[in-house]
Chain A
């Protein structure tokens, strides 16, 4: 029997948390090192380099190419270049993007916020809409409303995001003219304050919807199944037996437990969106990480591409850590030990 245990002092409760964080940071370090090694090696397999791309767009003699390669260190064996890259990385130096004539870190710092806004907005919107759809469907399981919601979710699930993006642009951008069809802000408008924010939000609405639909479908189906399972459990009946109002039975007692599997999914969504927003960023002409990676591939801007992949991987590692910590907060049965 768990008898009158003396409450543990704060230091004792903190220790497992610190040990957990330490272990996870060490794991993250190893994962990041492997990611860099793999990225670097795979990129060596791709034919051509920055100089061959340059030579295609301008007249260049063979001597010029050789001297340029020597100048940029591209004539070194790849193991030597890997060593230099790792040495620089250890000093938080991601290298120089010659195509952008700027340090990689500067280029990424410029592009990252766009992707971050897109990802955060998409996660919040799809989680909210999907969960609500799932809860409503579960409460009326088997009814017409349930069938319609499931059908909508299936269409969302099956339609590729770029198709949705194009349909949205044609409908709301071109035909109706309600929303801008590309870019992050109205170029040259020079807006500030609230007007700037409103302009930004207007530009984000269509891309966020395009990124959301697939995940709305996933969350809706997941939330529906989870709610149906949880609603038949004893403690939901106990809540009713206590005379708890029906809305609180559903949204407090049942939903809080039903949300747990959705948190895992949200972590996966963030991870896949950071790298996976390329299509939507391309269709809407947004200067994000996906677009940057796409351009870097065609320009053989190896340093920039490595930098983008490094930062994306770092985000994925951080998000999975946050998800684990979130689990501990949401479910008291999960402990850090």
Chain B
């Protein structure tokens, strides 16, 4: 089912993308940028994974798209975020409120805290339908029951009156998914939806998301640090490092032939070694993501990079692009891996 959506997504490459983020930048104060010059697009029905270590700006990116940033960060936001051509950054709060939960929805990392502890799960799902569809309480609740069944909760009618603490972690995450799916949004953002769950439940939730996506044709942004998740659900991926995009491309291309040394490091750091290549056996990337206030000169990854050369510390690399037919790639590195060196290019 996932493969069919991938095929259809690539077939209609021409129309305007569903979501276009252009030159997004955020900072807590001007001396410590949190996100710099981030651009990516997402087509209808497509799944984009955003990957990176903790603190690289993945979650901030998702909150920025939803326009749910804390006010001090929201004030600093620059760049454009277009959903179906409309710039979300210029919308009034009421317009955004009508979009959220209806055209775009979000699934959070920790389902226990993401659900209101004193409201029944039925009421929390029905609320979305009553606000956006104007359904009556009774109709909204019966629709909520259908949704709970759809996300694989057994005996959904009896679960409607349950409160979040009465459900298991996996069941709670199914509830938040039902809530996000209620109005059949065009775009769903899943911020590490399986991180807080048991490994066996993780696989079930990922299968459920892929299945729902195939049926509804919604586009999805999957925020994760797990390359296994990326490979399982995503069509394309953006690798982020220290608030910038370092590499983007189709999942199969990026995972087999990474251009950025950071991506290569992430792949090599996988315990299974499934993407091991070239005989290099890096098990971790030395060092840590620099704090926003202590970003190095030149390339942001250069202090941790095994391939760093003198010019890497001199200037920040711009995004390089290979429009290459059906599988365009972008990267931010002076000395990309798995590419012919500039001199050898014909």
- Nearest Cβ on chain B to A247's Cβ, whole angstroms: 11
Q: Are A238 and B114 in contact (CB under 8 A)?
A: yes
Task: List the B residue with the shortest CB-CB distance to A253.
Answer: B116
Binary interface encoding of chain A residues 3-22 relative to chain B, with 1 for a CB under 8 A from any of its CBs, else 0? 11101000000000000000
Q: Are A240 and B113 in contact (CB under 8 A)?
A: no
Task: List the B residue with the shortest CB-CB distance to A234.
Answer: B113
B76 within 8 A of A: no
Q: Are B93 and A3 in contact (CB under 8 A)?
A: no
Task: List the B residue with the shortest CB-CB distance to A6.
Answer: B158
Docked Cα-Cα span, A246 to B154, in Å, equals 33
Could you say which interface size class chain A belongs to? 20 to 34
B98 within 8 A of A: yes
Stretch at the interface among A28-36, A73-81, A128-136, A329-337: A329-337
B32 within 8 A of A: no
Task: List the B residue with the shortest CB-CB distance to A7.
Answer: B158
Q: Which residues of chain A (268-318) have a CB below 8 Å from chain B?
A: none
- Nearest Cβ on chain B to A8's Cβ, whole angstroms: 11
Docked Cα-Cα span, A330 to B165, in Å, equals 14
Task: List the B residue with the shortest CB-CB distance to A242.
Answer: B101
Q: Are A245 and B131 in contact (CB under 8 A)?
A: yes
Q: Are B171 and A1 in contact (CB under 8 A)?
A: yes
Q: Which residues of chain B (160-215) have a CB below 8 Å from chain A?
A: 163, 165-168, 170-171, 176, 179
> Of B102, B115, B120, B158, which one neighbours A235 at CB under 8 angstroms?
B115
B227 within 8 A of A: no
Docked Cα-Cα span, A257 to B167, in Å, equals 19
Stretch at the interface among B47-55, B104-112, B257-265: B104-112
A83 within 8 A of B: no
Q: Are B158 and A234 in contact (CB under 8 A)?
A: no
Binary interface encoding of chain A residues 127-152 relative to chain B, with 1 for a CB under 8 A from any of its CBs, else 0? 00000000000000000000000000
A243 within 8 A of B: yes
14 A-B residue pairs with CB within 8 Å: A2-B166, A4-B154, A234-B113, A238-B108, A241-B101, A241-B106, A242-B100, A242-B101, A243-B97, A243-B98, A243-B128, A243-B132, A257-B117, A332-B117
User: Which residues of chain A have a CB within 8 Å of any CB of chain B?
Assistant: 1-5, 7, 233-235, 237-246, 253, 256-257, 330-333
User: Which residues of chain B have a CB within 8 Å of any CB of chain A?
Assistant: 66, 68, 93, 97-102, 105-106, 108, 110, 113-120, 127-128, 131-132, 154-155, 158, 163, 165-168, 170-171, 176, 179
